[in-house]
Every structure is written in structure tokens, then in C-alpha cells.
Amino acid sequence: MIMREATPEERRRFYLEEWNKREVPDFILHTISMREFGFDLDGKGPNNRYNQFLTVDQLGDFLRIRAPYSAYASVALYERPSAREGWLKAELALDIDAKDLPLKSCGCPPGSVCERCLDEARQVAKQFAEVLASDLGLRKINFIYSGRGFHIRVNDESVMTLEGNERAQLVDYVTGGVIPSDFTMALGYSKVFRERLERTFSSLRMEDLLEVRGMKRSLAQRLIQEKERAMEMIRKGKLDELSGLEGMGPKTFRNLLEFLTKLNSGFTDGKVTIDTKRILRLPSSLHSGVSMKCMVVQDIDRFKLEEAVPKFLREAAG
């Protein structure tokens, strides 16, 4: 799969020939006049802010004329979006960026993505959304392919008026970002935490474990060799067995647990969720850094990256 920067000419072609207002999701379409739009016009950053469009056709005209490097819309709805004033409510958003995953099995260099880590980001997004739906009972959960990862955007009224600190707690819950007081409960946060811990543990390599304070090489080696067994202990909530391993001791165990919990939090950028005035890449627009379309994902399991490849890139590839 080719991922390269789009030229200004390709951007123009994309917006003239390919951009389609029907690919703007309903949740934006129906509230378009209440959102702040932001643009990166030349690839130097999204510093063209405070734009308001009353209709999607107005937005379309802007995109065709300016062919921006990137286009964004606020998660928030405002009374006066062109002044970013009169905040009414905001979607709950989670950003799972494949280039920033704390553990990747692919080994592609920092800042880049490949099909493998994009797939890992997809799995993480799916797991987060499952908790949002099952544990928190949320509906109207949308997946967006962002170009380098996935966004989860929740338009359920029950979360749209939450403040930043409440959103922060929600992120901790979904990611397994805090150590629970009880590991063994069959349901609720305890279970989510164990699932996240297990997932994080499964991707650990020897060199990761050696970063844990007090971790001896022999113990790290053993944990990697007997990973399956350790994962089973985590899954079943038998963390006392894990802490009882030879050479572990309560202190190292605590350090290990804190290390893993911190990694858990790193699977999404919490700052994005907490910021109720954030702008997020506009679904339907072009991510010019990678020449991929940012788009709504109807079925997260079946989504194929090829669907996001713009025409100009397909033609260039022959």
C-alpha cells in the first residue's frame, strides 16, 4: 500500500472530481451550522479556524476553491461557531492513532503507519467501542477512519454535555488506565481492566519489560517465555499468582502493574477526549499527508483500507 503526500494538484482534483457531500456523516450534516470548521490550507498546520458554514453546499464550495491540505470540524456545537462562543454540547471522541500506539508488532518507524499497525488500531477501537456500548450503554457510536488510525465519535445525548474531567474518567474506564481496587470482579471495571492488561501484556517484548523498575532479566525472560500462562493469570484475575512468581516480589509486581496501566492509557490520546472544543478531521475530506480519504466506517470488521484510497492515487499506481 502506498502512503505518500498528495500534491496541490492532486488535492484540487480530489475536491473537484471526487469529494461528495453525501460522505459527510449525518451527525455533522444535521448540525453543520453549529460547528466550527478549521483548515490547514498549505500543510503548515490547521491555523485557519473560526469558519462557519450554513449549508453543506457552502462547505463544498470552500473545499473546491481552496483545496485544503486538511479539513476539520469541531466536536462541539456552538451558538456562535465563528467566534467559538456559546458552547452547547460536544461529541465524545476517542482518537486511536496507529502511529502513536505504545506497542506495535510491525516495527514501522515512529510517525509512520502500515497496514499491520492500522489493523491493531482498528482492534483497539473496536474494543473501546464495545465497552462504551455494553458497560456504559451508549448508542450512536460512529467509527471514522482518519487516515493514520481511527476515531470513535459518540453522539449519544447522555455524554454530550459531560465536562472535561468527566470525560477523563471515561477514558480511564475504557482504556484500563487506572488500577482497580479489586481485580477479581466478574463484571464492570475490574473485567475491563483485566482485558486491557491482557492485551497490553500480549504485545510486550523483552526490552519493554526491562524498562520496569526492579525487573531482573531472568524474570523478564521467564514472563516472555511463559506469556500464555501469565496472560491466563491476568484473564482470571489471579494476579496474586503473578506477583508470587519467583524473583518478582510485591514491589516489582506493583511497578509492573503501574507500567502496564500506563501503557494501557497510551492506546488513545486522552487529550483529544478531554478537549470539548477540539476540531477533528472531517470525514469525506482528504488526509493529504498520506493521500487517504478520511471516512465513515460502516462495518469496522469489514473495512478495507483500499476503500479510502482516492482516485488520483489509484490511477497513479496503475
Q: Binding marks (x or -) toward Zn ion, 103..122, rule CB under 5 A?
A: ---x-x-----x--x-----
| Sheet architecture: strand order including 279-281 | 48-51, 37-40, 70-74, 279-281
Q: Is 42 a catalytic residue?
A: no
Nearer to Zn ion, 41 or 114 (CB): 114
Choices 36-44, 101-109, 165-173, 278-286; region in contact with Zn ion by CB under 5 A: 101-109
Shortest distance (Å) from residue 105 CB to Zn ion:
8
The catalytic residue among 40, 42, 97, 156 is 97
Q: Is 135 a catalytic residue?
A: no
CA dist., res. 77 & res. 83, Å (int): 12
Q: Is 61 a catalytic residue?
A: no
Decide if 73 contacts 280 (C-beta within 8 A): yes
Nearer to Zn ion, 106 or 231 (CB): 106
Tell me the residue type at 307: E
- How many residues line the site for Zn ion (CB under 5 A)? 4
Shortest distance (Å) from residue 121 CB to Zn ion:
9
Nearer to Zn ion, 99 or 281 (CB): 99
Q: Binding marks (x or -) toward Zn ion, 256..285, rule CB under 5 A?
A: ------------------------------
Which sequence positions are flagged as catalytic? 95, 97, 269
Q: Give the binding site for Zn ion (CB under 5 A).
A: 106, 108, 114, 117
